[in-house]
Amino acid sequence: MKRATIIKLKNVWKIYQMGDVEVKALRGLDLEVKDGEFVSVMGPSGSGKSTAVNMIGCLDIPTKGAIYLDGKNIAHLEESELAQIRGRRIGFIFQQFNLIPTLSAVENVTLPMMFQNKSTAEERRQRAEKLLTMVGLGDRLYHKPTELSGGQQQRVAIARSIANDPEVILADEPTGNLDSVTGKVVMDFLAELNEKEDKTIIMVTHDRYVAEHADRIEYLKDGVIVESKEKRKRMKRRFLNGRNHNLEVRKN
């Protein structure tokens, strides 16, 4: 099946001015991601991975170049339009989890829905509970982030990222702060979102094994893509079957 292009970066530059020094974080980056694709971005620290992902997620704007989301150039939109895209079409997952510390898991997940202001408080709460149950936190609904382990916090963040049912999930080193076992659980949920919910996922990672879950791996160096590695779907299927078994065990 031929998929449509959902994200396209064309000759994207990001230059930071640090006093007299210019830091060129991106130097003419080109990237294309198809709807429903799972792309891993790898590369040495400082190569511009986060910068690229933030730009796709409308958190930042490029110095030069074009970023198309569904064919629409978002490179020069106003903050209010960017906020709207972030809220409705993008889900973020960060290395630091970035949950609001004073809010319970459910409240953290309702927050993105609240900013869209399209549903009643009751509908939001129900959806948050459903999503949290889906990521295996049905018994931790009203815990505060400090009362949750790192892996659990990242699962709350996953639930939050899909609260408004976005097309694209951007994950910047989602397992970077987790040990390999809990990291694998988080990866399993991401893979499931890609496989079952057909979410487009762009994930930055340092971990070669984690990157293997993707359909494609892009290698970044000094702000440009230096290598691209396509994988076959079959491998992913096999991996998914194994994961489902793991999930059953983990929930108990």
Partner 1 sequence: MLFDQFRLAVDGLKRRRLRSWLTMLGIFIGIAAVVSLIGLGEGLRNAITSQFDFLSADILSVEAQGLALAGPPGTGTATPLTDDLAAKIEKVSGVEAAINRYMESGTLEFNDRQQIGIAISMPDGDHRRIIETMLNVEAEDGRLLKDGDKRKLVLGSRFGQDEMFGKGVKAGDRVLLSGISYEVVGIMKRKGNFFMDAAVLANENVMLDDFGDDGTVAIIGVKVKDPSEAGRIKEDIEKLLRKERDVKEGEEDFSVSSPEATLAQLNSTLFAVQLFVYIIAIISLLVGGIGIMNTMYTAVIERTKEIGVMKSIGAKNSSVFTLFFIESGLLGAVGGLIGIALGLIFAYGLAALGRAALGVGLIQAKVSLGLIIGALLFSFVIGTIAGVLPALQASKLQPVEALRSVK
Ligand X SMILES: Nc1ncnc2c1ncn2[C@@H]1O[C@H](COP(=O)(O)OP(=O)(O)O)[C@@H](O)[C@H]1O
Chain residues that interact with partner 1, rule: CB under 8 A? 54, 57, 59-60, 79-80, 83-84, 86-88, 92, 94, 98-103, 110-112, 114-117, 121, 160, 163-164
Single residue of 30, 46, 81, 102 touching ligand X by CB under 6 A: 46
Q: Map the footprint of Mg ion across residues 67-106, applying CB under 5 A.
A: none
**d(C-alpha 48, C-alpha 54), whole Å:** 10
Q: Map the footprint of ligand X across residues 22-41, applying CB under 6 A.
A: 23, 25
Residues contacting Mg ion: total by CB under 5 A: 1
The option from Mg ion, partner 1, ligand X, none interacting with 153 (CB < 5 to 8 A, set by class) reads: none
Tokens of 61: 């704007």
**d(C-alpha 61, C-alpha 52), whole Å:** 10
- State yes or no: residue 117 binds ligand X (CB under 6 A): no
Single residue of 14, 25, 43, 50 touching Mg ion by CB under 5 A: 50
Return the closest-CA partner of residue 216 out of 59, 36, 88: 36
Single residue of 4, 45, 181, 248 touching ligand X by CB under 6 A: 45
Single residue of 1, 18, 21, 249 touching ligand X by CB under 6 A: 18
Q: Is 110 exposed, middle or buried (0-12, 13-18, 19+ CB in 10 A)?
A: buried
CA end-to-end distance (rounded Å), the chain: 38
Q: Which is nearer to Mg ion, 173 or 192 (CB)?
A: 173
Residues 6+ apart with CB under 8 A from 186: 151, 154, 155, 158, 174, 175, 178
| Orientation angle between helical segments 150-161 and 105-116, nearest 10 degrees | 20
User: Could you list the residues that contact ligand X (CB under 6 A)?
Assistant: 16, 18, 23, 25, 43, 45-51
